Structure 1
Amino acid sequence: MTPTNDRPSTPELTVGQEIHGYRVIRITPLQAIDATLFLLDHMATGARHLHIAKADAENAFGVTFKTVPTDSTGVAHILEHTVLCGSEKYPVRDPFFSMLKRSLSTFMNAFTASDWTMYPFATQNRKDFYNLLDVYLDAAFFPVIDELSFKQEGHRLELEGEGEQRQLVYKGVVYNEMKGAMSSPDQVMSRSLLNALYPDTTYGNNSGGDPAVIPTLTHAQLKAFHRRHYHPSNAYFYTYGDLPLVDHLAVIADKVMGRFSRIDPNTEVAGQPRWSAPRTARYTYPLAPTEDPVKHSQAGLAWLLCDIRDTFEVLVLAVIEQVLLGNPASPLRKALMDSGLGSALSDASGFDADNRDTLFACGLKDVDETDAEAVERIVLDTLTRLATEGIDPEMTTSAIHQIEFHRKEVTNTPYPYGLKLLLMSIGSWLHGGDPDRILQLDADFERLHREIAAGPFLEKRIQTYFLDNPHRVRMVLAPDPQQAAREQEQERRELAQRLAQLDDAARRKIEEDARLLQQRQESEEDVSSLPTLARSDIPPEVQTCAPTALDGELPLWHYAQPTSGIYYLTGALGAGAVEDALLPWVPFFCYAFTKMGTRSSDYVQIARRTDAASGGLGLSAQARAIYGRSGACLPLVQLSAKCLTRNIDPMYGIVEELIAEFSCHDLARLKQLLGEYRSALEAMIVHNGHRLAISLSARGFGTAGALGETWGGIHQLRTVRETAKAADEKGLRDLADKLTAIAGSLFTPDNLVMAAVGETEAVAAARSRTLSGATLAGFKRPAQDLTFALLPPQTAPRAYREGWSTSSAVAFVALTVPTVALGHPDAPVLSVLSKLLRSVYLHREIREKGGAYGGFALYNPESGLFSMASYRDPHIERTLQVYAGAADFLRAAGLTDEDIKEALLQVCSEIDKPDPPGAAARKAFLRRVVGLDDDTRQAFKQQLLQVTKAKALAAADTYLTPGRAPTGTAVIAGRDHLETANHQLTDNPLTLHTI
């Protein structure tokens, strides 16, 4: 059925009404977000549908299935990948990825959680919404799931080498993805925690897949899992936005529901049987043999708590989490950190309400394994003290304020707002809870306030949920420097044994499958059956947000915006006057700025006041290239703060005290923060390895790239790690002096420009508060003056070619080449070329054929750098060959105008991604600081719409042909992997370093 072309509001529906085979069960006004909730079920199949009608053009969809694996083969995860490899109506090999090229979506993805799999998208274009809906429905309910797709996405055997060197190897996208994931301590900790606490339910399994178990999954098992789980009787549909519900229901009923009858999918998750006594558990993670295992363990406690459907108890536990761990002054967090046993809270610390039974975990990382009992004593002693002596009422008030603030704030980070509402409610809804209870907690908040006023309510809950609860485990996650080698040897022996057992028929089958898969991957296919948008569907204008006034007395820009009762303060400070020797420490200064305390208040007092009055405040360091100033680098520190409008005065008081009285005299606290910061940098290596590799490869091309690596890359980690290892009293005093000097360079009278964002009354109140204070009113410069001191351009480019070793079973491979920046005629062409290259070349070569999780091409119009990168990649040398062949491929590929249009759609979907009013204003202000005005943005988009195939090919020839320009190469991988690659890269090996 084709939906109507206009956008009528949702018609008046009534409870009990039947429409398109659905029955309306509930209609609930969501006054807090100015929306209406509709809950329906499909009478024939039992499918559920949740619709949130709201005046928001960014419409969202999601269909979620309860997926409850009984093993760690990764069946749910592999199925998520495989259903997106072709369907009944769209039998192309990758309709999902193809639709990324044919859409203006603001979000497209698929998720596998411990007990559900979700297929969500969002878009601002009505035609696009129904195009994507058609593809998503066909993919989920009528996928092909052929054996070759299973082998590509899940796992397969291939023969490599010749003669006596002939060997079997495992390949597969999910297989390599999970090898990478299980190299990360935080991933291992999270999955081990579930295994320890839920040994008798689906949560005890690794839903993503254990690499040692993944190869046991069969194609028949995958198809059977789909038949049972991907059925309307097991489906939870969700729609959001200003498109009419009736149209959604008509399409879903027409496309899906008529082909199914109700079944019992048997996917209910029973509660974990409760223990009668606490337990202990020990797990290990792989550590590079070059790293010292001493004090590299994690230790802590975890409890099984309430049923996820009990919204009041979930709220109570969220408040208790905030009280215990929410800020540096929180008693449990402070007790753990003050012990000096570890560097930061253990991974997965906090309250987790994603599973049928909720959990709470806390502990320390970077401890000695023998410290586990000491960590347990600290946790239990702190909880006992709070239960018996009571919780400071101000801490309870602040905790509730934090939860209320973040529920009130409308953001699109990291997901569009409509999808954030789905993710908030899906866990409870899947297990029989009411989604409207999750989305409007007013009654629960009112009850909570009454209970707290009546007596020691939270203290009693701590006693019940923690001290008297025997379902508790003491967890240890210990490093094992031999684990990776042991697992590799086990895999080698297993594959050698399988090779020895292969008969001729089995060998021919493996070779034939490899040939057929390669043939499929390299074949050109007709994707014309897939729906698409046209160039004419692209909005010709960019979205803008202009200031409502520039202040005449203050360096202040005014942005009057409908921000739902929240006020935002943002500011820009130039860091160009910071001494060269101090520049590497600017990011740590930003990290420590709000966490150190002041001359008048210690860090505990500052933390408590911050949580009581704001929704967060802090500094961030950015190395920016100024638009229109070739080679110029603006080292920038951004100030951000936000609060409910009633809290403008106390929030400004904190900001002014931090600026005027910043102090590093508390050396013990400084040492704590240094350890926390180092730990956070180390944790990002495996998660953001592709970004770090790009940063390393780009650092030789321009001052901004070099400073970006110094501030946010591997070199920042090395700087911090070196200092942290020798953090004696003298070293800490030296560091304190550096931070004090940085503060002195930043907070000078002519070095701050601010923007006030909020409702008109809030902006006026904030201006008055600024004028009345001694600190912010003391910054004197014209509001229109956004020029700050710049760092000089690099004298000459330097093409690094490096390998950086770490604990990882997979690689991250990046190559960067300097091109041209925004303002050059080729800039829009390079933007299109980056999407084109990923779509028609890198996705196939790096992911489909190479087995990496992803292959990317990125063009940065600010710096003029063009990068290619891979994520969780089993290859190094082959991937570098792929990069080198990019220009040759494009010349020979027979590109079409349709290819260009698809790449253009991808660029414009990013440009046109909407922001809520507060974020839109803050981004607009920052764009002005770095020299990007709206006229330039509009001109760039107009030039984008004129990009042709000839221009794209010319740009590829000019900038991507090997030898035309210096290139930077960086690989992050395990040491053995790097050394093996260097044996193949004999003509131009990587210079090896250790992270």
Structure 2
Amino acid sequence: MKKRIFSILFLAALATLWACKLKPSYEVGKVYHGFKLVKKEFVKEVNADCLYFIHEKSGAHLFKIAADDNNKLFNIAFKTVPENDFGTPHIMEHSVLNGSKNFPVKSPFDVLRKGSLNTFLNAMTGADITTYPVASMNNKDYFNLMHVYLDAVFNPLLKEDPRILKQEGWHYELDSINGELRYNGVVYNEMKGAYSSPTRELGYQINKILFPDNTYGVESGGYPTAIPGLTQEYFVAFHNKFYHPSNSYILLYGNADLDKELEFIDKEYLSKYDRLDEKIEIPLQKPFEAKKYAEKPYPVPEGSSLKDKTYLSMSYVIGESTDMELGLALDIITDALVNNETAPLRLALQEAGIGKDVNAWVNDYKQNVLTIRVQNANLEDKDRFDKIVTETLQKVVDEGFDKETIDGIVNRLEFRLREGNSSQKGLMYLWQNYKGWFFADDPYLGLKFEEPLAAVKDGIKNGLLQKIIKEQILNNPHALLLVLKPQPGLEKVITQKIKKELADYKASLSKEELEKLVEETKALKEFQKSEDSPEALAKMPMLKLSDISPDVEWYNLEEKKVDNVPVLYHPDFTNDILYTNLYFDLRVLPQELIPYAQLLNQVIGLLNTKNYSYGDLDNALNINTGGFYTSISSFQKDYSDDNLIPKFVVTSKAFTEKGDTLFKLISEILINTKYDDVDRLKSVLARQQSRIDARIKNNGMGVALTRLSSYYNKSGVFNEQIQGLEYYNFLTDLTTNFDSKHQEISEKLAETAKLLFNKSNLIAAVTCSDEQFETFENGLKILNSTLPNNEVKLQTWNLVPTIKNEGLMAASKVQFVTKGYDFKKLGYKWSGKMRVLSQILSTDYLQTQIRVIGGAYGGFCGFSQSGNVYFASYRDPNLKSTLENFDKTPEFLDSLEVSDDEMTRYIIGTVAKMEYPTTPSQRGSIAISRYFYNITPQMLKQEKEEVLSTTVEDIKSMKPIVNDILSQNAYCVFGNTQKIKENKDLFKSILNVTK
């Protein structure tokens, strides 16, 4: 025993020495590869040493979170301050990733997307930040990504090549002298899609009025009608001003060698720049002297009813985002005042009959903006809304909040902060730290939540929340009451105005100028169609197939039984949290109750129960759990459409010490919910209808894809009934006719719950450590003792797919075009090589035809093991030409020529989508999903081997599959009403998607 202890101690000491050799001790004040260490501190909230450097020569800021995490993140951010609605920061974000000095390919981003092991690869534009994060678990890949991104932001080709702005931002498009002049461009069409959402328009108008004198009053993403104001000269000047190292903020996260990171960044980039004296600042907006009021329109289809389609909002500018205590307090106030089930403003508006849903949030710009928004209201409600908000705020100041409500909200906030349940922790910390870094020169500020949280908890006892409401909300003149009202046919008016603008501009051009524009259009398309030279591609860093392990990640699942209930147990370290799932089989329901299962999913936990009012229940869940959610998930055993396994899933989590309480609350909800409380049921259904109405308007892609799959497989028919247009129509009918149908609704919900929540119909699952399993077991026994234990009989459903080829008309400025089928119904079998096929089509053919040339925000396809295949375009200005491009895919495969290096990239990019970082709860969910699909380690290994061995000949040999899928001619389009009507001959039917 002594020898063994000595050996362990010796090895530990050796490991410590080796660690010291790998990780030198960094000292404050010393310079490392040009970086001076300004501060070093262990931050317990992130469980890591955090080091803050300033690069002496260039003035760049760098912050390293030296966490023991293999998923390494590199990010470089710039404080970007637009002064108009051109969308310059957003277009710049796209454009810097379209070629650079050291990587002169047309789109290094897309080359990386094709062939990197990244776990995250993107770039984002905020109101005051443009940021470029990449992450990878592979060390070589991590440094490759860093290299490409640094070159992109500091040495972009956009300065010398105006075609990049034209492609990514906007350009005039004229195919012939006699043709129609159009605007086109990726960001132009992306933002047209974004502004098809009324809530996006509402946010734009709020900020425009609240911040008339600084950058927050303009749209950094670009307002569609303003984007064509951006010129090449302005674009280049913007880059020169904001994309200098002195205005850069570099975040490094994870276990990469810091010395190597610093050496590389200094040697390759920062050492080539000199510090600038000018610091980019954003002035504070001067407060208003009095609250403002405004009305603005948004488009709805011609002939639409205006009833219940107005948005009412109240917004307040409150303090600065670097005040962490204020930020946490405002989060608590928005939940307590509005978002909680018994929040006083929610109840007051509900009692007054104003709107169908209300929510509140805080946008933490340099100055915080708290917004309260009511949707599905009416214009005549605005004065009462204003009065009720004021009266409710005053009542809270006078009487305070319910203590139990506040305790629950604070507990849930604290649980979320401490759990940190994200597999992309570097990205999570990026969003936490940049405000303090940008505006207080303190990258530690946003990470260290314990002290401000303790201060807020202490302050609550002494009236902190009431004080903030009185001084910074109720008596705050920097406020705005904004009404966004529907205007039928407004989109048509806007479209005609743009057409006239373009026609007038065209008429002002000479014949020579028109010919030049035609030539420029042709030249741009030729440029977009052209391929990168082998020499340019060779400069892009890449991995080898030998860098990829042939092994697969398998998450253990132990099958147990507790009180004769099957239990799926995934053992994992969860930091004393129980992650539980309860799976109830939906096949016990007759087919006509399928939509009621979704309705049950939406209302359960929000209604009164035998022993709790809905408010007390909400408080109890907040105080004792980290979350309670329900959902409907469908699995397909052996990936067969004939083996649909639909489950009603109850998901919850809690610290082990609250395990028994968690299961008692679950039991109360499942067994004792009162479905016959008419007033409460009416209120909850109206809210859910309002939310799905907003989702339908904002998620054209999801609507079209769900509808499409219902054309050709049973699982698609099922999904349409629980989340598609069919469910939306079902719910809208119930809410519209609630007074005559409420008894039937209550009875159907009770019947659905009684059939589902049965001990014999349950499979339980948990992710926790072995030490915690006993707590879960005891809790499950508590639940089991309350569930009925009746014999289960699974029903046979007659789910019949029908190809409908519909045009779904909406007040949208763009289209979402989808086409697909089920290859298994055509006699084909799944192979992992189909993953590579999907990667090639998405990142090459469709990317080029739909996005680069067509101007859509995205074009892609998907192949699944179940047989489902889809082709899709996202925020697309086109319709018919996109369907034609889908149909030309077999021609692309026929002529496909791919070098060995290109195929390697495609394969590596495919593997990246199969392997990603996970949290304990995610690993448990993956293991359970594999159980229901009947996936084995051997199947995963075979699939990976098929991917790794894919050849060009394999891809070309799949042309018949693609051809047969597209030949079924099943498609669905969600889009602009006029565009769909212009192409009505393509559709079997056209219909309005919302009421």
Q: Is the 8 A contact 2:177 2:514 kept in 1?
A: no
Which of 472, 485, 488 is matched with 2:492 structurally? Answer: 485
Q: Residue in 1 aligned with 2:838?
A: 834
Which of 924, 929, 933 is matched with 1:926 structurally? Answer: 929
Shift of 1:907: 2.3
How far apart, CA to CA, are the structure 2 residues paired with 1:822 and 1:400? Answer: 55
Q: Is the 8 A contact 2:118 2:135 kept in 1?
A: yes
Cα 1:200/1:125, change in 2 over 3 Å? same
Instruction: Return 869-878 or 648-657, whichever deviates more.
Output: 648-657
Deviation per residue, 1:51-105 (Å, 9 max, x gap)? 1111111111111101111100111111111111111111111110111112011
Cα 1:409/1:708, change in 2 over 3 Å? same
SS in 1 for 2:280: coil
Q: Does 1:390 align with 2:366?
A: no
SS in 1 for 2:45: helix
SS in 1 for 2:907: helix
Q: Residue in 2 aligned with 1:210?
A: 223
Q: Does 1:678 align with 2:689?
A: yes
Cα 1:847/1:332, change in 2 over 3 Å? same
Shift of 1:568: 0.9
Shift of 1:737: 1.5
Q: Residue in 1 aligned with 2:169?
A: 154
How far apart, CA to CA, are the structure 1 residues paired with 2:846 and 2:431? Answer: 31
Alignment of 1:478-877 (within 5 A): 478-526=485-533, 527-547=537-557, 550-551=560-561, 553=563, 554-728=565-739, 730-773=740-783, 775=785, 789=794, 798-820=802-824, 826-861=830-865, 863-877=866-880
Q: Is the 8 A contact 2:808 2:990 kept in 1?
A: yes
Shift of 1:457: 2.3
Shift of 1:762: 2.6
* Structure 1: segments with no counterpart, 5+ residues: 782-786
Q: Which amino acid aligns with 2:406?
A: T
Question: How many residues are matched?
Answer: 970
Q: Does 1:230 align with 2:243?
A: yes
Q: Is the 8 A contact 1:771 1:777 kept in 2?
A: no
Q: Does 1:992 align with 2:990?
A: yes
Deviation per residue, 1:349-391 (Å, 9 max, x gap)? 31222x1100111131111112111112222211111111122
Q: Is the 8 A contact 1:228 1:265 kept in 2?
A: no
Shift of 1:990: 4.5
Cα 1:90/1:656, change in 2 over 3 Å? same
SS in 1 for 2:806: strand
Cα 1:845/1:462, change in 2 over 3 Å? same
Q: Residue in 1 aligned with 2:330?
A: 317
SS in 1 for 2:362: strand
Instruction: Return 322-331 or 144-153, whichever deviates more.
Output: 322-331
Instruction: Return 712-721 or 200-209, whichever deviates more.
Output: 712-721
Cα 1:320/1:525, change in 2 over 3 Å? same
Instruction: Return 479-488 or 863-872, whichever deviates more.
Output: 479-488
How far apart, CA to CA, are the structure 1 residues paired with 2:936 and 2:774? Answer: 25
How far apart, CA to CA, are the structure 2 residues paired with 1:571 and 1:14? Answer: 52
Q: Which amino acid aligns with 1:819?
A: F
How far apart, CA to CA, are the structure 1 residues paired with 2:419 and 2:601? Answer: 24
SS in 2 for 1:576: helix
Q: Is the 8 A contact 1:7 1:243 kept in 2?
A: no
Q: Does 1:184 align with 2:191?
A: no
Q: Which amino acid aligns with 2:981?
A: E
Instruction: Return 577-586 or 65-74, whichever deviates more.
Output: 577-586
Alignment of 1:397-546 (within 5 A): 397-412=407-422, 416-453=424-461, 455-526=462-533, 527-546=537-556
Deviation per residue, 1:601-634 (Å, 9 max, x gap)? 2211111111111121121012332225452212
SS in 2 for 1:636: strand
Cα 1:836/1:776, change in 2 over 3 Å? farther
Q: Is the 8 A contact 2:591 2:797 kept in 1?
A: no
Q: Is the 8 A contact 1:25 1:40 kept in 2?
A: yes
Q: Which amino acid aligns with 1:367?
A: A
Alignment of 1:261-410 (within 5 A): 261-345=274-358, 349-353=360-364, 355-410=365-420
Q: Is the 8 A contact 2:578 2:655 kept in 1?
A: yes
How far apart, CA to CA, are the structure 2 residues paired with 1:791 and 1:151? Answer: 56
Deviation per residue, 1:555-585 (Å, 9 max, x gap)? 2233332112322111211101212111122
SS in 2 for 1:868: strand
SS in 2 for 1:820: helix
How far apart, CA to CA, are the structure 2 residues paired with 1:246 and 1:942? Answer: 36
Q: Which amino acid aligns with 2:575?
A: S
How far apart, CA to CA, are the structure 1 residues paired with 2:715 and 2:893? Answer: 30
Q: Is the 8 A contact 2:589 2:755 kept in 1?
A: yes
The two structures, once aligned, show a CA RMSD in angstroms of 2.3
Q: Residue in 2 aligned with 1:937?
A: 940
SS in 1 for 2:588: coil
How far apart, CA to CA, are the structure 2 residues paired with 1:435 and 1:776? Answer: 51
Deviation per residue, 1:268-294 (Å, 9 max, x gap)? 111110112111122221111142122
Shift of 1:755: 1.3
Q: Does 1:168 align with 2:176?
A: no
How far apart, CA to CA, are the structure 2 residues paired with 1:968 and 1:485? Answer: 29
Q: Is the 8 A contact 1:631 1:793 kept in 2?
A: no
Cα 1:10/1:567, change in 2 over 3 Å? farther
Q: Does 1:240 align with 2:253?
A: yes
Q: Residue in 1 aligned with 2:49?
A: 36
Cα 1:675/1:864, change in 2 over 3 Å? same
SS in 1 for 2:591: coil
Which of 933, 947, 958 is matched with 2:950 structurally? Answer: 947
How far apart, CA to CA, are the structure 1 residues paired with 2:453 and 2:902? Answer: 53
How far apart, CA to CA, are the structure 2 residues paired with 1:545 and 1:488? Answer: 53
Q: Residue in 2 aligned with 1:257?
A: 270
Shift of 1:699: 0.8
Cα 1:340/1:860, change in 2 over 3 Å? farther
Shift of 1:7: 12
Q: Is the 8 A contact 1:749 1:779 kept in 2?
A: yes
SS in 1 for 2:957: helix
TM-score normalised per structure 2: 0.94
Q: Which amino acid aligns with 1:975?
A: T
Q: Which amino acid aligns with 1:979?
A: K
How far apart, CA to CA, are the structure 1 residues paired with 2:37 and 2:827? Answer: 54
SS in 1 for 2:701: helix
How far apart, CA to CA, are the structure 2 residues paired with 1:211 and 1:852? Answer: 14
Shift of 1:551: 3.3
How far apart, CA to CA, are the structure 2 residues paired with 1:463 and 1:886? Answer: 62
Which of 963, 974, 977 is matched with 2:976 structurally? Answer: 974
Shift of 1:183: 1.3
Q: Is the 8 A contact 1:563 1:759 kept in 2?
A: yes
Shift of 1:506: 2.3
How far apart, CA to CA, are the structure 2 residues paired with 1:519 and 1:359? Answer: 46
Deviation per residue, 1:906-932 (Å, 9 max, x gap)? 221121112111221122113212322
Q: Residue in 1 aligned with 2:903?
A: 900
Q: Residue in 2 aligned with 1:784?
A: none
